[in-house]
Amino acid sequence: MTFALIGNPNSGKTTLFNQMTGSNQRVGNFPGVTVEKKEGSVRGHKGVTVVDLPGIYSLSPYTAEEVVTRDFLIQEKPDAIINIIDATNIERNLYLTLQLMELDIPMILALNMMDEIRGNGSSIDIQKLQAELGIPVVPISAVKNDGVDELTHRAIKCAEDKARPKNLDFCSGYVHAAIHSIAHLISEEAKAAGLPLRFAATKIVEGDEPVIKQLKLLEPELDIIDHIVTDMEGHLHTDREAAMADMRYAYIETLCSHAVVRAGQTKEHLR
Ligand code: GDP
Ligand code: MG
Ligand code: K
C-alpha cells in the first residue's frame, strides 16, 4: 500500500514524513531539491509506504514541482492521498485540496499545525469540515507527533475502503455548466487516456494544454469546447483560469465561514 503525501510548500510534509517513517533526516526546503520525491516505509505497518512529493499550490502544468506531483498521482495511482494542510492558512491550502479531490483517488485531509491554532485561540470545526468536504479530516501537529498515529490508521482504512471523494459539487453557476458539458463530451477520451473524468473536464475549462493534448480530441469536439468556454467567459466577464479560481475561492470562503473561528471572533460568527 502506498500513500502520497501532498500539500503546499511549508505545510509540514517532510516533518510528517519523518514522523511516519522514523527517519530523522534534516527537514528543510533547499531550492532545487524539492522536485525530488522521497519514499519511506511507515513504521509499525508492514507493506505500507509513504512518498513525500514536491510542495505545490495547484495541479497546473507550469512548474517542475507541479508536473512531478501531478504525473505521480495520475500515473502511479497511489492507494490514498494524504493531503496535509497548514491550518493557520486554511483558505489558501484548501485551494489545492479541491483539485486533488477530482483525481478519483481515496483521500484523507491532515489538518496540520493544530498546536498553533489552539495556541492562538482559534478553532476549527473538524466534523463540519469533514461533512462538507465528504472526506476524513484528522487534526495533527506534525512537529509534536500529535495525531500522527490516528492519521496513519485512518489513511490505511481509507485506502482499504477505496473511499474516493464523492462531494464534487463545489462548482456552481456557469463554471458548473461548462465542467459538466465538457465532461459529457470527453468521457470516452478521458477513459482511453487513463485520466479521471472530472479532473480532465476541469483542466480543459482552465485551458490545460498537456491534458488537451493527452485526450487527442478531434476538431469538431475542440470547436464545441471553445464555444462552451467562450460562452462561460462572456457570462462571467473573466477569463477561463480566473473563472475557475473565483469559483473555488467562493466555495472555500463559504466552507470556512461555517467551520473556522479565528482568534477574537465569537461562536456567534458561525451560521
Ligand atoms: P514542507 O515544506 O511541507 O516539507 O514543510 P516542512 O516539514 O519542512 O515544515 C515547514 C516548517 O513548519 C518547519 O519549520 C517545521 O518545523 C514547521 N512545522 C511542521 N509541522 C508543524 C506543526 O505541526 N506545528 C508547527 N508549529 N510547526 C510545524
Ligand atoms: Mg519538504
Ligand atoms: K512499512
**Spatial CB neighbours of 252, under 8 Å, sequence gap ≥ 6:** 91, 94, 95, 98
What is the predicted pLDDT for the residue at 267? 52
Ligand 1 centre to CA of 11 (Å) is 6
For the stretch 228-266, pLDDT in tens is 999 999 999 999 999 999 999 999 999 999 999 887 765
Which ligand sits closest to the CA of 28?
1
Q: Above 60 in pLDDT, residue 1?
A: yes
Average pLDDT of the chain is 92
- Binned at pLDDT 50, 70 and 90, residue 271 comes out as very low
Ligand 2 centre to CA of 4 (Å) is 13
What is the predicted pLDDT for the residue at 28? 47
What is the predicted pLDDT for the residue at 38? 87
Cα angle value 43/4/91 (rounded, 5°) = 115
Q: Above 90 in pLDDT, residue 37?
A: no
Percent of the chain surpassing pLDDT 70: 93
**Spatial CB neighbours of 180, under 8 Å, sequence gap ≥ 6:** 201
Site to probe by mutation for ligand 1, drawn from 5, 24, 26, 27 as the one with most ligand atoms within 8 Å of Cβ, is: 27
Ligand 3 centre to CA of 19 (Å) is 13
Residues that constitute the known binding site for GTP: 7-14, 32-36, 52-55, 112-115
What is the predicted pLDDT for the residue at 32? 46
Q: Above 50 in pLDDT, residue 34?
A: yes
Instruction: Give mean pLDDT, residues 192-219.
Output: 96
Structure ipTM: 0.97
Which ligand sits closest to the CA of 2?
3
DSSP state of 110: E
Ligand 1 atom having least distance to the Cα of 140? 23
CA distances from 133 to 101, 118, 211 (A): 9, 22, 26
CA-to-CA distance for 163 and 213, rounded, in angstroms? 30
Instruction: Give mean pLDDT, residues 6-28.
Output: 84
For the stretch 93-111, pLDDT in tens is 999 999 999 999 999 999 9
Site to probe by mutation for ligand 1, drawn from 10, 50, 86, 120 as the one with most ligand atoms within 8 Å of Cβ, is: 10
Q: Above 60 in pLDDT, residue 31?
A: no
